[in-house]
Amino acid sequence: MQELVLNQPVSTARSELVREAAQADARREFEERLAECGQLAFRVARAVLRNTADAEDVAQPAHLPPPATVEDVAASKQFQGHLERALEELPEKLRLVLLLSAMEGHTIDEIASMVGVPLGTVKSRIFIARKKLAEKLRCYANTIRTR
């Protein structure tokens, strides 16, 4: 009678390679997602903290490749500057609920719990903040869109 012997080191080595490949894939996916949202994280952190150095520390923004054309880069940077200034001009209570909702994706219930105000107050603050922000950015958006 012949005895069947399993070779453990080969299966262990194979499973180790599979695990390392999975880790490499997960790391690559994480880096891609970080690159996609790095600038957004920085803008949100800067708007909340109102300090560029602190925002860089908090967000640790990834370096993204520049958009296709020089005109796009210029328009994007110009509009980003206008957006940051418009956000800074909003009263803090409006800016906070807008950033929590639009930038971080929290629900109105979550924001009400975090800020400690009623649901209706959060809804009205978000509405007012969007309206004021749209008013401040309307002329800049039209200028950039016509290029």
Going by pLDDT thresholds of 50, 70 and 90, the confidence category of residue 102 is confident
Task: Write the CB contacts of 111 (distance below 8 Å, at least 6 apart in sequence).
Answer: 97, 100, 101, 122
Which ranges of the chain does DSSP label H, i.e. alpha helix? Answer: 8-49, 52-59, 70-89, 92-98, 108-115, 119-145
DSSP 8-state class, residue 100:
I
User: In the prediction, which pLDDT does 7 show?
Assistant: 47
Going by pLDDT thresholds of 50, 70 and 90, the confidence category of residue 90 is very high
Going by pLDDT thresholds of 50, 70 and 90, the confidence category of residue 126 is very high
Going by pLDDT thresholds of 50, 70 and 90, the confidence category of residue 128 is very high
Terminal alpha carbon distance of the chain: 84
CA distances, 83 to each of 8, 25, 32 (Å): 60, 35, 25
Report the distance separating Cα 46 and Cα 38, nearest Å: 12
Matching residue, tokens 């950015």: 137
Axis crossing angle, helix 119-145 with helix 108-115, rounded to the nearest 10 = 110
